[in-house]
Amino acid sequence: MEILRSKAPLRVSFAGGGTDVSPYPEEKGGAVLNCTVDKYAYATLQTGPPGNGGARVHSLDYNLSANYQMPEDLVYNGELDLVKAAIKVLRPELATAARPESLELFLHSDAPPGTGLGSSSTMCVALVGAFQRYLRETWTSYEVAELAYKIEREELGVKGGRQDQYAAAFGGFNFIEFSGKTTIVNPLKISPGVLNELGYRLLLCYTGTSHYSSDIIERQQRSYREHESATVLALDATKRLAIDMKNQLLRGNIDEMGRLLDEGWQLKKRFTQGISNPQIDRFYTSARDAGALGGKLVGAGGGGYILLFCDFARRANVAKAVQESGGRVVDFTLVPDGLQTWSVRSPAS
């Protein structure tokens, strides 16, 4: 028996997050700057004998298993809904009375949902990758990202943007532009020295709290649709800042990263209510007091991971302040690869 595996990298977002959330990109065009890191979502798929049908799913992170034998089993009820949506889109015959060969899926992630690293969208990309290998499809990275978007945003109805799916599918340092139904991924050729320096001066820190991005994004969408000036102006400025940060990076102006990250964080807090809170504000202030030049939450807001940019001589002081504030510094490396799939032979075959 052949076992199919896939892994997709999580991402850190530097600038532009929020401008990839509809309807802003359709009306004004969005732009984000992000990079993938060495934290992954993994999916393993193996098949059973023909005629048994159904799918058995194991979430290793939550020690949870479920068996979907009938179409009525694929009802969205808050339990492994992402997998159910993926099955409905990628293997629709499992959502009917047909009895194809059975599937068994094993899933786990280096970061749980609610951290701001795009873990649910990344898991969706990993699922698409596993099914791509199983179905022997030749989908491009663009098609993989759009399928993952369709599964999570359209089929399942989870609020959010497009950057996470594209980051996971393509990998690396990208400037991504969104305009209407068109997305353009621009891989950035940043010198190894700049990447090394950036990796040395960045701290990725878990704040100790998770977030519910769907609620925050829904409020942001409502504020934008109602033409609230604070939201519209902040989103416009955020897009300009993403372009500026991309240009500064390409020129090797590392020192500008701290100022621009802080500027982006101040703009982000104007999108809508709930993006920050007193605990996050205290966490950020203590990091700044210890020497961080700037930073931002890497997701929609409310909690999760925060990315800090430090002067090299004060990095240790910032890390100590993070720990004293109840946070945790997480080792990470910027990585160039996106979705990867491979196969192995089962020992029993």
Single-letter residue type at 166: Y
Which of 20, 81, 110, 164 is catalytic? The answer is 164
* Residue tagged 């491979």 (tokens): 342
Q: What is the rounded distance in angstroms from the CA atom of residue 97 to the CA atom of residue 93?
A: 8
The SS3 assignment for 300 reads coil
Q: What is the rounded distance in angstroms from the CA atom of residue 136 to the CA atom of residue 47?
A: 14
Decide: residue 40, CB within 10 A, 0-12 exposed, 13-18 middle, 19+ buried.
Answer: buried
Q: What is the rounded distance in angstroms from the CA atom of residue 89 to the CA atom of residue 188?
A: 32
Whether 164 sits among the annotated catalytic residues: the reply is: yes
| One-character DSSP codes across 60-71 | TTTTEEEEE-SG
Q: What is the rounded distance in angstroms from the CA atom of residue 339 to the CA atom of residue 167?
A: 9
**In this structure, are residues 310 and 204 in contact, taking their beta carbons and an 8 Å threshold?**
no
- Known catalytic residues are 164
